Amino acid sequence: MLSLQGTVQKSEMGAGTWALVASTGETYEIHRGAPQELLQNGLKVQVEGTVRQDVMTMAMIGPVLEVKRFEVIS
Amino acid sequence: MKRLLLAALLGIGLLLALANAPNLGAQGTYDSIALDFQETLTDAQIQQQVEAIAQRYHVTPQLNSAFSAADHLYVVSGNARLLKLLRHSDLRQSTESIDPNYIYQAFEIPNDPDYSKQWNLRAINMEAAWHQTKGSGVTVAIIDTGVTVVPDLKDTSFVPGYDFVNDSTDASDDNGHGTHIAGTIAQSTNNNFGVAGIAYEASLMPLKVLSQSGGGTVTDIAEAIRFAADHGAGVINISLGGGGDAAVMQEAIAYAHDKGVVIVAAAGNGNSNAAAFPSRYPNVIAVAALDASGVRAPYSNFGAGVDIAAPGGVIDGENAAGGILQHTIDDETGEPVFRAFQGTSMAAPHVAAVAALIESVGIKDPDTVTAILQQSARPVPDDALNHYGAGQLDADAAVKLAQQDHLDVKDFLRWLRDSGYLNLRFWVDGGAVALLPKLGMVLGSYLLAWLLRRYVPVLSLSLGAGLIAGSSGLFPLRGFYIFDLPQFPFRVLGSSIPELGGAIGGSAALNPLFASVLIPFMLVALLLGHPQWKWVAIGSCLGVAVCLAVSAIGSPQVLWLGSGAIARSYLLVNALLCFGLAKLGAQAS
């Protein structure tokens, strides 16, 4: 399980793609099916999840992060 | 010995000149010869000459057209051999000229009304390439969200595909991504509707592995690759990526490659320093994306694993003109719509379609197709971070190279790659170093040491270390990458002292603080008292002197000073100072 802090951003790569830009700089692609409350541009969150090594996407913006839990910071 | 060194330097200079000389043999094609008889000859005299030619060479010269009689302009069918014979015969006296009747070729400009918006097709030189082939006889598999036959794909030929997401033989698109890629490869062209595609006479095989939301599993993708290889695809386009190394994927790629399939994949859109899976696998061509000006798109991955670059477009807010325009479906309504997309997803199908063009002129071996794509690409100079791989895709140059009789495929590179040049732990960018200037710097610094042989131990290890550090650095390391790790440590190790200033940022311009007498001076000042290290310091002075002199002559690009006379003089003055410093230091000890 991965725990990281970051900002949710709407991605320019393909319709309906959302990114989590971690405070350390890496960009993760938020796996489809994440709760709507998470998918808000600019939302700062603390997230727990796993990187899906078995999933590939058309957006290709970074590792695919399946969010298990999240907490809004601001 | 001195002569030998001078001869070696001369040899390098000659090689450099030859390597940079334009291809003088490259000319137009012709299958007839134009004979322009002198104006002063009478019709009877000309008739006599014509009959003589007919008798001697078994060809009959004819007036070029009904308007040629006054000008005495005749054509005769023939090749280079006949041209030579005619030019060396006594016909020369009675003609003004005997020349090849070159064939002028018109460019193929499609009649699709929105073709003018497809900057990307002109960027890869499509109009000249279409004149030679349109991809007929080749099948391109599209492993994506499926393909829907929108109106501008109506004249495009399809072979049966498969939907691995819903396990169905109907591989229609429910997202728009796959249909867009199908358009780039083989949009119905010259149909007076919409836009054009690259290999529009090729057949498409739609394979759906991504769901409507744009994600899919490694197992479905691997199965789709095997399906394509088993059902006659010559090229596979994979505009998707992510995840990690998976044995099923690696085996599927090896299987398809062994069956003679060219596999092209998008490098990824994370703006990160390594191509994503599956594009980074050996035997997969990883494609980075370019914007409309031919520069790397800001999202495109680069560095380790990137093989070539092609237009991927950049959409700036509401302005979609910089994107790649094709006919696809709306992801919400499913209705056909002309839409511009951006991404390495859009760049990969440019390369896949040109691979299909290469196959359609008869090259089937995937390694040869890859070599042709890379050799014909327009190289981008000073690509220290490997943004572009072999360079920018050029369809016309690729098809022309594929049609040459003797293909100069780099067997050596193939051997290197198959034995570790390219694997999943490390990767080597073959184009990172301009080899000849570097060798010139190393040899030149030894030549300088030889000139000072009264004072310096030419063959000592410490002097050698200084010469290498000052002139070239451990330059083979410059193109060395370990996947997913920063590359700058290798760039630093692979740089000479003058190049260190730009090594971390990957800039080709020399930093004037580093490219000067400053560091050699500090080294000499610090180390002159030491019996061994002083030779490192003196060696570095000589090495830097040669590096600066070669740069001053070859590529005088200096930060803040430009690349003109000021930069040149700065480098030369510092080179002389370095040499003087070395001589003083050597004499003092």
CA distance B504 to B304: 16
Whether the pLDDT of residue B412 is over 90: the answer is no
Round the average pLDDT of chain B to a whole number and report it: 88
pLDDT of residue B100: 83
Binned at pLDDT 50, 70 and 90, residue A60 comes out as very high
Among the options B172, B279, B345, B472, which is catalytic? B345
pLDDT of residue B460: 87
Domain boundaries, chain B: 32-100, 116-425, 435-588
ipTM of the complex as predicted: 0.92
Whether the pLDDT of residue B417 is over 70: the answer is no
CA distance B64 to B77: 11
Whether the pLDDT of residue B202 is over 60: the answer is yes
Nearest-neighbour CA in chain B from A74: distance (Å):
25
pLDDT of residue B423: 60
Whether the pLDDT of residue B451 is over 70: the answer is yes
pLDDT, tens digit (0-9, with 9 covering 90-100), for B255-312: 999 999 999 999 999 999 999 999 999 899 999 999 999 999 999 999 999 999 999 9
**Which B positions 247-276 lie with beta carbon below 8 A of chain A?**
266, 268-272, 276
CA distance B494 to B501: 12
A32/B214 Cβ within 8 A: yes
Question: How confident is the model over B394-401, as a mean pLDDT?
Answer: 95
Binned at pLDDT 50, 70 and 90, residue B233 comes out as very high
pLDDT, tens digit (0-9, with 9 covering 90-100), for B42-97: 888 888 888 888 888 888 888 888 788 888 888 888 888 888 888 888 888 888 88
| Percent of chain B's residues with pLDDT above 70 | 91
| B177 is a catalytic site residue | yes
Among the options B32, B72, B144, B495, which is catalytic? B144
What the block records as the tokens of B437 is 């200037």
Query: Which helix (H) or strand (E) element contains residue B158?
Result: strand B157-158
Question: How confident is the model over A36-46, as a mean pLDDT?
Answer: 94
Selection from B65-79, B233-247, B504-518, B550-564 with the highest mean pLDDT: B233-247
Whether the pLDDT of residue A70 is over 70: the answer is yes
pLDDT of residue B251: 95
CATH 3.40.50.1100 for the B116-425 domain, yes or no: no
Question: How confident is the model over A47-55, as a mean pLDDT?
Answer: 94
pLDDT of residue B23: 39
Q: Which CATH number fits domain A2-72: 3.40.920.10, 2.40.50.140, 2.40.50.100, 3.40.47.10?
A: 2.40.50.140
Whether the pLDDT of residue A40 is over 80: the answer is yes
SS3 B308: strand
A12, A15, A62 member nearest B315 (Cβ): A12
**CATH class (in words) of the domain with range B32-100:** alpha beta
Whether the pLDDT of residue B418 is over 80: the answer is no
B219/A13 Cβ within 8 A: no
pLDDT of residue B19: 47
B133 CB within 8 Å of a chain A CB: no
Residue with tokens 């006479």: B201
Give the chain A residue whose CA is nearest to the CA of B246.
A54
CB neighbours of residue B310 within 10 Å: 33
| B345 is a catalytic site residue | yes
Whether the pLDDT of residue B415 is over 50: the answer is no
pLDDT of residue B199: 98
CA distance B245 to B502: 34
Domain boundaries, chain A: 2-72
Query: In angstroms, what is the C-alpha Rg of chain B?
Result: 30
Binned at pLDDT 50, 70 and 90, residue B429 comes out as confident
